[in-house]
Amino acid sequence: MNRWKTVLIALAVAVPSGALPAAAARSAAAPIENNETQPVYSRADALTQTVFVEVAGVDSDGDGRPDRVAVDIMRPKETAAGLKVPVIMEASPYYAGGNDVPNHVVDLDGSDPAGMEYRRNKFNDLRDEMFGLGEDAATSRATAPPFSGYYDNYFVPRGYAVALVENLGSGRATGCPTTGLDNETAGPKAAVDWLNGRARGFDAAGAEVRADWSTGNVGMIGVSYNGTLPNAVAATGVKGLKTIVPIAAISSWYDYYRANGGVLAPGGYQGEDADVLARYVLTRENGRQVCGALMDRIEHDQDRVSGDYSEFWDERNYLNDVRKVRASVFLVHGLNDWNVKTKQAVQWWDALAKQGVPRKIWLHQGAHFNPFSFAQRNTEWLRQLHRWFDYNLYGLRNGIMDEPQADVESGPNQWAQYASWPLPGTRDVRLRLAAGTDGGNGTLSADRPHGHATETFTDQSARTAEQLAENVTAADPNRLAYLSPVLTKDARLSGTPSVSVRAAFAGGRSPYLTALLVDYGTDTRAYGSVVYGADPVCYGEGVPGDTGCSRLAEHVTATAPYKIITRGWLDVRNRHSASRTEPLREGRFYDFDLDLQPNDYIVKAGHRIGVVLISTDHDYTLRLPAGTTVSVEPGASSVDLPLVGGRSALG
Mark whether 368 is an active-site residue. Answer: yes
The Cα–Cα gap between 414 and 421 comes to 17
Q: What is the DSSP letter of 391?
A: I
CB-based contacts of 225, cutoff 8 Å, min separation 6: 92, 93, 94, 250, 281
Q: Which of 333, 364, 368, 607 is catalytic?
A: 368
CA distances from 588 to 432, 584, 585, 629 (A): 22, 8, 6, 12
Going by C-alpha positions, the residue among 595, 564, 608 that lies closest to residue 338 is 564
Q: How far is CA 605 from the centre of its chain?
A: 31
- Indicate the SS3 state at residue 360: strand
Mark whether 275 is an active-site residue. Answer: no
Q: Are 389 and 360 in contact (CB under 8 A)?
A: no
The length of the chain in residues reads: 651
The Cα–Cα gap between 331 and 345 comes to 7
Helix axis angle, 225-234 to 182-195, nearest 10°: 70
The Cα–Cα gap between 152 and 169 comes to 25
Q: Which of 337, 459, 595, 600 is catalytic?
A: 337
Q: Are 60 and 152 in contact (CB under 8 A)?
A: no
Instruction: Report the phi/psi class of residue 7: left, alpha or beta, with left for phi > 0 and alpha for psi in -120 to 50.
Output: beta
CA angle at residue 114 from 291 to 178, to 5 degrees? 20
Compute φ and ψ for 193, nearest 5 degrees.
Answer: -60, -40
Q: Are 69 and 136 in contact (CB under 8 A)?
A: no
Q: How far is CA 463 from the centre of its chain?
A: 28
Mark whether 337 is an active-site residue. Answer: yes
Q: Which of 224, 306, 373, 550 is catalytic?
A: 224
Q: Are 406 and 419 in contact (CB under 8 A)?
A: yes
CA distances from 530 to 128, 166, 220, 538 (A): 11, 29, 26, 20
Q: How far is CA 53 from the centre of its chain?
A: 27
Q: Are 256 and 250 in contact (CB under 8 A)?
A: yes
The Cα–Cα gap between 632 and 260 comes to 20
Q: What is the dihedral of CA 443, 447, 448, 450, to 10 degrees?
A: -70
The Cα–Cα gap between 525 and 508 comes to 37
Could you give the residue numbers annotated as active site?
A: 224, 337, 368
